[in-house]
Structure 1
């Protein structure tokens, strides 16, 4: 059985070394075949017609991981100033913030008063607050991505809010 397979393989390999013929038809189109045709010429296949491919191995492969440059953003509360006393019966005041360098598009500011988010995230760097109770408060502003990641935080700012009356605006004398 092995002998029959071996003879069959030898016969097939001898056919793979067939002669190649080239001819041009009436329209000028060039044809190649392993069967001879009228006006066909034998094509001599030398070593230069075979496809050879060499693989150049790199001399040095860079295996050090690339490090991304992390930008350090700085958030500063411009107003109110540290230890400022704000006198407003409605508990209203404005918080202004600056950021450097300029924040990327889509980053929002959030304001925390005494550790509680007081205003919804916004693009504007100014917060208008109302209804804040009297007393001492700590203000922090965060720069937050839309996914909720905090890029930068301001240092806490301590302020004091005074109101003439706990129950409402001061009454005018009669």
Structure 2
């Protein structure tokens, strides 16, 4: 923090020196170094050289040819191909596959992310096939999103509702005794 303060004070003093202001330096009772444009007790004058001044040159952009069209923004679309809307999936382990389709083809660096019930499932990936494992039975909403590497959402599929059924050992049919 001290370094930032000192650098900013030095830069300020450089700007002030261009208007021929005098810069004073002193050390306080705690050993901190201070700079100011006002003289103080025990302050010494800081000599600034001409070569300490910075100059910045700005390039003027070339004129844009009126015949060239600006690059058109690409609109991406993504949809879930499989499973179908309100499909019932029977899997005791809670495993199923989600297949998505994106158009136009995604350039390198763009990722697809699967959300199950508004929670990100796994890590975003470049593949459009998601192998889902160990999901509890019940109704679930699936959404696939196209993301940039910094996480910006470019497109999102519509919500796909599915039903996951798992056989339960508790619902196992029990033999009934015969009475004769």
| The two structures share one fold, judged by TM-score above 0.5 | yes
| Runs of 4 or more above 2 Å deviation | none
> Among 119, 123, 136, which residue is 2:126 paired with?
123
Where does residue 7 of structure 1 map in the other structure? none
2:100 is paired with a residue whose SS is strand
- How well do the aligned residues superpose, as a CA RMSD in angstroms? 2.7
2:149 is paired with a residue whose SS is coil
Q: Per the alignment, do residues 102 and 129 of structure 1 end up closer, same or farther by CA in structure 2, a change over 3 Å counting?
A: same
Where does residue 108 of structure 1 map in the other structure? 111
Q: CA deviation at 1:70?
A: 1.5
Gaps of 5+ in 2: 1-63, 175-180
> Among 162, 166, 174, which residue is 1:163 paired with?
166
- Corresponding position: 1:77 with 2:80: yes
Q: CA deviation at 1:135?
A: 0.5
Q: Give the 5 Å matches for 1:14-53.
A: none
- Corresponding position: 1:132 with 2:135: yes
Where does residue 144 of structure 2 map in the other structure? 141
Q: Deviations over 1:111-141 (max 9, x none)?
A: 0000000121111110001110100000000
Q: CA deviation at 1:67?
A: 5.2
Where does residue 20 of structure 1 map in the other structure? none
Q: CA deviation at 1:148?
A: 0.7
User: What's the TM-score, normalizing by structure 2?
Assistant: 0.55
Cα separation, 1, equivalents of 2:131 and 2:141: 16
Cα separation, 1, equivalents of 2:134 and 2:127: 20
Structure whose CA Rg is larger: 1
Cα separation, 2, equivalents of 1:133 and 1:113: 11
Gaps of 5+ in 1: 1-60
Where does residue 95 of structure 1 map in the other structure? 98
- Corresponding position: 1:152 with 2:155: yes
Cα separation, 2, equivalents of 1:108 and 1:165: 37
Retained in 2: the 8 A contact 1:119–1:127? no
